[in-house]
Chains A and B, each alone.
Chain A
Amino acid sequence: MKFPIYLDNHATTPVDPRVLEAMLPYFKEDFGNAASRNHAFGWAAEEAVEKSRKQIASLIGANSKEIIFTSGATESINLAIKGVAEMYAERGNHIITAATEHKATLDTCKRLEKSGYRVTFLPVMADGLIDLGMLRESITDKTILVSIMYANNEIGVLQPVAEIGKICKEKGILFHSDGVQAAGKVPVDVIKDNIDLLSISGHKLYGPKGVGALYVRRRNPRVQLTAQVDGGGHERGMRSGTLNVPGIVGLGKACDLCQQEMGEEARRLGYLRDKLRDKLMAALDETYINGSQEHRLPNNLNISFAYVEGESLLMGINDVAVSSGSACTSATLEPSYVLKALGAGDDLAHSSIRFGLGRFNTEEEVDYTAEKVIKVVKKLRELSPLYEMVKEGIDLSKVQWTAH
C-alpha cells in the first residue's frame, strides 16, 4: 500500500494515467491554438477539441454542439446562473436553488440578490433531499431558473433530478444542475432528466484541474446565455478565451473512460463503501450516517462519530487523507453548512468525516482505514469528557455549557 492513502475523491481525483497520456502531445508537438483556422497546427487542435466535445456529450446524452468549455465547474456554474439571469431578465427575476448547494452556486445567487434578483434557498429534509412539493409551491410567474445539484459533494446525496426536471418543463422554467459529483459516477441523461444546463468539472472525474464544461441545451428549448467573459466570441459567443486544448483533451478522455468503466466502478466502489461503513458501525456505538443512504453516490460515506471532534480524528488517522465537516478544519472556523441544513446539530457536524472512494482505491486500503479509524475513535472517546458524561447517564442537551 502507498501512504498516505487517498480517500478524499470528492475534493479532487488523481489524473488517470491514460488521461495524462492523451494530453501530452498537446503540450508538445500539437501545441496549436484551436482557433487558428488557417494552418495545420490549428486544425489539429480543433480536431482534438471537437473529439472531446463528442466524448463529453456522449457521457451525458447530449449533442456535441451543446458543450462549451470553461476553466472549471465554478466558472460553468457562474456562467449558467448569471448567464440565464441576465439573458432572461425581462421574463423574470426569481431563482430557486437549495441550501445544500456548493458555494459556487450559493455565492453566485447571493451576488444576483444584490443586483435585485430574488432567490429562494429551499431547505432540505433530514435525509438531505429537497421536498418536491415545496419546490412546486415556491415557483412564481417570475421564476426563470431552478438550480439544484445532481449529487452533493459533502454527503453524496442524489436529488430527485428527473422529477425536478419534469416540474420545470411543465412550468416552462429552465433547469440547471451542478453535475460535478455525478457525471461519470452515475448515469446522467440530460434528455431523460429534462436538464437544460449541466456543469461538469475535469478534476472530479480523473481529469486535470483547470478545465470544465457546461452543457447548454439547443432544442426544446434553445437556451441562450449572456456571456460572462468577453473577447473574441469563442464557444458560440458564450465564453471567450483561447481554449485550454490539453485540458480539454484530458477532460474528453476522462469522460470517455468514465462512460466505459462507470458501471463496474460503481459496483466495486459501492461494495467497498458498504464494507467500510459496516465495519465502522459494527465496531463503534453512537455512529451516524449523514444523509440518505438510499439516494446516494456509491463512493461516498459521510459519517459522524459522536463525542469525537473531526480534526482530532483526522490527526489520528494521519496516513489516510479524508475531510471533515468540523469547524476546526475549515478556513473560516464555520462547521459544515450542509450538515447543518440536515438539522443534525452542530455537534454532529464537528464529529463528521467524509470518505470519498475512487478508482484507484483498493480493498486493502479500505480495510486498513476501517481499523485505523476504529482505533483512533476509541482512543479519542477515552479522552472525551462528553462520552464520559453520556456513559454516566447525563443528558447533554440539558447541560448548561459555558461557551465563550
Chain B
Amino acid sequence: MAYSDKVLDHYNNPRNVGSMDKSDSTVGTGIVGAPECGDVMKLQIKVNGATGIIDEAKFKTFGCGSAIASSSLATEWLKGKTIDEALSIKNTDIVNELALPPVKIHCSVLAEDAIKAAIHDYQAKHGAGAAKAEAVEA
C-alpha cells in the first residue's frame, strides 16, 4: 500500500500542529477517538467573536499517516471559514483530496467528527450551543 503524495506531504510537513488554551472563551476543543482504537484526534479552533470566522486552527493526532494527514488538512480548511461553512466539511471531501484508499476512510470520518466536536465545544461555551447543536445533529 503506497501512500498518496498529499498524505506524505501532510505527514512530513504537518500544518498547524500545536495547542491553544482550552479555557480561552474563543477556543473550541474537540477530542475524538480512543487509544484502544489506535486513533485519537485533538482539533482546536479559535473563533473571532465579531466576524464568526475561524481565525486559527490547531491539531494533534495519535494515529496512522492518513489520520495525521486528515486532521492536518482539516486545520488548513478550517482557517478563514465561518462556523456554518466549517460544519459543511464532509469526510468525503477529505477522502477525495487525499486520495484515501477504502481501508483509510474511517480516518476522514474521525476528522469530520473532530471538526464538529470542536465547533460544538465552542458553541457550548457561548450558550447558543445547545439549541444549535441539536439542529445540526438532526
Q: Chain A's nearest CB lies how many Å from the CB of B114?
A: 10
A335 and B38 contact, Cβ closer than 8 Å, known pairs A311-B65, A315-B3: yes
Contact B64 A401, beta carbon cutoff 8 Å: no
Contact A347 B109, beta carbon cutoff 8 Å: no
Contact B31 A402, beta carbon cutoff 8 Å: yes
Contact A347 B35, beta carbon cutoff 8 Å: yes
Most buried by A among B31, B60, B64, B65: B64
Count chain B residues whose beta carbon lies closer than 8 angstroms to a beta carbon of A: 31
The chain B residue with its CB closest to the CB of A396 is: B35
In the bound assembly, the distance between CA atoms of A328 and B67 in angstroms comes to 10
In the bound assembly, the distance between CA atoms of A383 and B32 in angstroms comes to 15
Mask of A313-351 contacts with B, CB within 8 angstroms, 1/0: 001100000000011100001010000000001110010
- Of residues 41 to 100 in B, which have CB atoms within 8 Å of A's CB atoms? 41-42, 60-65, 67-68
B129 within 8 A of A: no
Stretch at the interface among A84-92, A241-249, A384-392: A384-392
Neighbour of B62 across the interface among A307, A333, A346, CB < 8 A = A307
Residues of B within 8 A of A (CB): 3, 8, 11, 14, 17, 19, 31-42, 60-65, 67-68, 103, 109-110, 113, 117
A309 and B34 contact, Cβ closer than 8 Å, known pairs A401-B40, A404-B110: no
Contact A309 B38, beta carbon cutoff 8 Å: yes
Q: Please name all residues of chain A whose beta carbon is closer than 8 Å to the beta carbon of B62 when the two chains form the complex.
A: 307-309, 383-387
Contact B109 A385, beta carbon cutoff 8 Å: no
Contact A385 B40, beta carbon cutoff 8 Å: yes
In the bound assembly, the distance between CA atoms of A328 and B38 in angstroms comes to 8
Count chain A residues whose beta carbon lies closer than 8 angstroms to a beta carbon of B: 29
Most buried by B among A328, A333, A401: A328
Neighbour of B11 across the interface among A312, A382, A384, CB < 8 A = A312
A403 within 8 A of B: yes
Known: A388-B42, A402-B34. 8 other contacts (CB 8 A): A309-B38, A309-B62, A315-B3, A328-B63, A328-B67, A383-B60, A401-B34, A402-B33
Contact A402 B117, beta carbon cutoff 8 Å: yes
Neighbour of A388 across the interface among B33, B60, B63, CB < 8 A = B60
A404 and B113 contact, Cβ closer than 8 Å, known pairs A328-B63, A383-B17: yes
Q: List 25 A-B contacts (CB under 8 A).
A: A307-B62, A308-B62, A311-B65, A312-B63, A326-B38, A328-B67, A346-B35, A347-B35, A350-B35, A350-B36, A350-B38, A383-B14, A383-B17, A385-B31, A385-B40, A385-B61, A385-B62, A386-B40, A388-B19, A388-B42, A401-B34, A401-B36, A402-B33, A403-B34, A404-B113
